[in-house]
Structure 1
Amino acid sequence: MARSPADVDVDVDALFRRRRRHACHADQDGGTITIAPEEEEEEQTWRVRRLEQVLATARHLCMTTTTTTTTPGSGDLDVLAEKLADGSRDVSWRVPIGDSGILDFFVAMISTEGLRQSLKIHALRLIGNSCADTDENRARLVRGGHLRSVIHLLSDDSTLAFVIPVLYNVCVDYEPAQKQASEACLSRALVDIISGPRLLECQTFLNIICKLLALLVSQDGEFNVANPATPTLLFHLAASTQYPPDLEDFCGLTSVALAYLTSEPFQVQLLKQVWNVFVNMFADISALPVFPVLYPIRSPAVRRLVSWLANVPSSLAHLQTAACLALGNLSRSDESSRSLLADVYPPLCRILSQAVVNTSTPAAPSAQLLHAALSFLKNLAIPVVNKPVMGHLLEPPLSILPQIWSMTDTQPDTQFVAVSLTRLALTDCAANVARFCAPLSPDTSSPAHARSNVHKLIDLSQRADAEPTKIEAGRAIATVCRMLHTAPIDAVLPVGWDDYEIPDPASAQASTPIHLGYMSSPGSLPALSPSSASDSHSNNSRRSSSSHSSARPSATAAAAAADPLVQRRVRFYHAHAQMYKPLRGLLTQRAWPGVRSEALFVLALMSRTREGMDVGAAQAVSGPDALRALSEAVTGRDMIDGRELGGGGAAAARVAEQAGMLEGFGYSTAVSMMVGGGGGRPEAMEGVSREVGDMVQGLGLEPRQADPARSAGLRRVDRENGLVLVAEMLKQQGATMPSFQRNAFEEILAGGSEMVLGERSGLQA
């Protein structure tokens, strides 16, 4: 008849009581029992047979499941494991527990996924007790490679108090276990625990951990697998005020740290940390206001820093890093940047080139040095006279900075600095914009001829995880767009774009339906329509009001369409049809108001040309988020907060009334506002477009850049730039855009115009 688990529990208790009774009886007789070898062997054999019966029951219980858990084994197995763990404290039962297979059974069980906590704890107790001072059982764990399973349990805070003593019992005085534990990176796991917040879970076992580390440090190969920062971390813990160790723990920590320091690799690591301390000291000292006073640009100290940057071998890269940080702090004025450029730019350029060419080879600069060099170049790129020198960093085929963007996806800080340097090099430098916008290949038959580094920047703005990098990439693209409309076209766009073939409008719409924004007529592409309103005189950022009458002369429009330079810009825009995405990101972000102002200014500039509107500005303000941001910038109100902005007719009446008031103060106005909603006929909307032009003309609004330092002026300039953008949207695309969008733009235009007139009226009063 099969026995119940309760019977087994009684049998296990009886097994261990039998040995204890025998021992107690011998003591009561007052003598020392000497057991003959054959009797001892018979006793061991009997114990193994009885424990094998217990093992059979344990296996049966392991196959039993309950309705309340999916973990293998019933709760009776937990009880049995507890009894066996208690019995294994008796040294005479440890070898039989191993010989019977019980130890192997529970060792294999601890790696089971989802094992009950109580069963896991009793299994660990059994392993630790059975291996204490018992090399036979330790050998079983080593032969089976089970130490890794035990070490893996260090990741569970709930079992730390059991796993650490188990590992010590297995490893102490047993060389093979120490070797296997070292190879399994036990020291790394222990150091990670005591160097972080998990120390609280095992602080009472800190002395045992130190003893384990002392066993591991003597193993061959330990220095190859241990954390190189182990000595430093141990010294920090020994000197900790947050978790002050007692005297015994302090001695254990420092002695183990010193033992690890006997290895040359750890000595090198510690020296590198000393280097980092000195590098930071150079950065801190050179940032003091008194430093440039005591050490001018031509002083011996600064000359020494320049020599570190230019003449030291790669093995002393920390000196180059220190030089970059210190000289970068010295170059925070235009005068010092201009003075330093000739001496420091060649070695800085070499550092960037080595990062691109050598990539992961030993000759490649460290991430710290690359970041420091890019940061130094950012300061040097601020003076306008310095910018052209840096143009080759942007130019294909090397495209050094674009290559750095691509290789630093896992280094967001370095990637951000590289993009920021790109933006600074492009700002107010038409020559650098031309280099940056050049086709990647001069071969017209190559697919790379239709791509530029602008494409790479657009891609980066979409894939980057870090929001500052996405924003900085968008700002760089906005800088390019601004130069396209404020500098001579032939100065910013290479002739290579004259070869670009604009896709057929019908096929372009079929393949990319979002390509042309609100436009629905394929024939309205500026490159193909003689009625294009592109401005051939786009070299000035601010235009006279007379050049923007509501009814533009057809001769001017035809001349713009026929101008080969305008056509070059048209082709460039079509080749970079996704440029609107990062511009939209600048408009819709809420963290940096000054960045949104940049976007509004650039979009207003772009909207004044047909190609800038169709492929850029119209797409950038499409979508609810962009429309909401535009409404907030122009009217100061949220479109979706439940409040009405006011009917177009009522708003127009107020605008007209205030315009009459302004005429009395000497303002010349010609405000005529569209009223009603959408759904009008195209020919009627053409008349409305002229009225929109009259209104903006009467307000005298032109795209202009805001000063981010003046918040009040920032809001006013944002409103005016937004009004220019909205008015151009309605004028150029009002006839073809959906009625709900046209209504929204009309409301924004009416509300914003009223606010502009109110502000001007208040100023005159």
Structure 2
Amino acid sequence: MASAEGISMAMAAGTEAARQHSVQATSFDFPSVQQIFSELPESSSSLSDRGSETLSLEEHEKMFRALSLVIENAESAAESGNAFDLKELHASLEQADADARRGRRDVESLQSVLEILNKLWASNSEFLVQAAEVMANGSRELSWRGPIGKSGILKFFLDVISSKKNVGVKLLYHSLRLVGNTCADMNENRQIVLEGFYTLPIIRHFLNPELVHVAIPVIYNICMDYEPAHAQVAENRTAYIILKLLKDGVIKDNSALLNFSYDLVELASEQAQGIDNSPDGTIWLLTQLALEETEFDHFSSLVNSLTAYLDKERFQNACVSNNMVEDVLSVLRRSFSIEIDETSKEEVSGIAQIRLKINQALGEVSASELFAEHYPLDSALAQTLKSWIIADEEQLQICACVMLGNLARSDEVCQVMVRDLKIHVELVSVLESGSRGSVLHSVLGFLKNLAIAGDNRVSLAEAGIIPAVSRLWAFESVPQVQFMAASIARQVTISSMENIARLLAPLSEDPDSPAHKRTYLSLLLSLFEKTDSAPIKTEIGRTVASICRTVTPKAREGDEAAKSLLEKLYTLHEGVARPVGAMITQTQWPVVRSEGWFALALMASNHSGCVAVVNCLHNEEVAMLLKKTLDGEVSASDASDESSKPDETQVTKDRDNVFVLVQELLKNEAGALPMGSRETLEGLVKTSSLRLKGTQDA
């Protein structure tokens, strides 16, 4: 059984209190089932009025003789405890059997039965109940279901069900039985039901306590493995009707009936018509029933349905504006106490999928613009989520990170989270705890949001975020985690000399240790050399470029700290410019390529940086792009698709940056360039200068 021991009692009590508050504050309108039926189209029956015909004694006796064997055999079968033996029906329909043996179609031999049924209806004969019972019993035999449908007998009983005349419960009961039996695994008969729009008349009998236990299975039989029926049943608001009846206690605690009911709710919730036509209160009914449920299968159906509704913006907004998000959180927490068979792979996988779906739904809900308005940082829900960051259950941690991360949409909110709530301290502790990839990914995503606010970057670094993410640069099993960890390194060092110093700090303070000559940036560059992921390579390049943009101008101004950092950057990190080359060779983002050329130009303005640039130019692809850019051979039309197409301004900017890059390289390289390479670059600069002069003269 799944355990919820990792959830603190205080957290559980807080969520429960929030849930009770939510229920009290809910302002949903819950229309009655009668009101729902009044809004749906009226059904009609093609049967004649009951009592419109008067039968003579001779006619009555004739019909009686024709069906007497049916009744007698049905009664004798009932007395022997074998009320559903098809042989009794076959024995009573001797002519039909004889015709069948001669190759005559059963549907034709049942025509006389249909005629008698119509007369019994028209004469208001009580004998019709017995005839209906016999036909319902016989319809259990698969071989008779097709003929019953084709002969019109199925439609007759569907019309009985649809009739607004005085139809007794017993006749309706056996009529429903016949429909349910005849539609089991028989698509031709199901189509008859759909074409006549008979599902709604059957659903209307859900309100009858004497018929609900048969009407629900009938609808289930019509829908089972038959997609065309799903939409019609959903359009009749079946999900809401069943949920309301369950909540009101109309559908009693009958195991089989509950199974059918929850399956139908889930089936209807898979259809757009079913969701679009449902009242807003449907999601409240789903959550309350889920919180009360103890059976895994029923809980699963309810949660699958709930998450289908919460996939729609209308219900997301309804959930938030009616203070119902706490309820959905409680459903997630409930999933850890619902009993499952741990030996069943299906149930173990099922509960995991349920938790994933709830988390996805809560992520969508918290992304709503209304969410921040209804649930500010000082709300009980936000406090609950904060406590979940360090919960023992991974899906609770993921939920907290995603939802709070969605709140962190402005610098002001992010700063409050870090400065006042100290959320970042708990997040960093999770990174250091050896959590699984899915948790790490959600924590990193949240931290990246927090790092966007400039004032937060130093606080994050002071909490140890750089050493924490550096461990994840070796997390090869989940490349997304590696990417996010690399991305945070860039985010926290943007425009921050203090954090750049931390990134360039030695891995060991012991001067005799080999790690003293290595920095956290060294680990990031090692990841660059190992990974095959272009996004990761590019992100590492952007980190190096960001460091250059921040430190180089300050070093030129004489800032001693900046000079020291620049010296560390180049002397301790051989190949530091290679990731910048990856920015240039990628083709997806033209603006990133421009960042790369600018960064190389900054590097080339430093004597030590020139060595790194020359190392980068050993990459033939980078060297070729440099030549083509300077020669004017790279244009906006070279892009493979519109999304990666630079504009002409971008192309011109790149050419200017490359021109500066080559000039700085020639000025500062101090023998780092081979003679042949230097001559080539000098020639490119001269040709480019002449081209530019010619353009200006023109």
Shared fold per TM-score greater than 0.5: no
The one of the two structures with greater contact order (alpha-carbon pairs below 8 A, sep at least 6) is 2
Shorter-chain TM range is 0.3 to 0.5
Q: TM-score, normalised by structure 1?
A: 0.42
Q: TM-score, normalised by structure 2?
A: 0.45
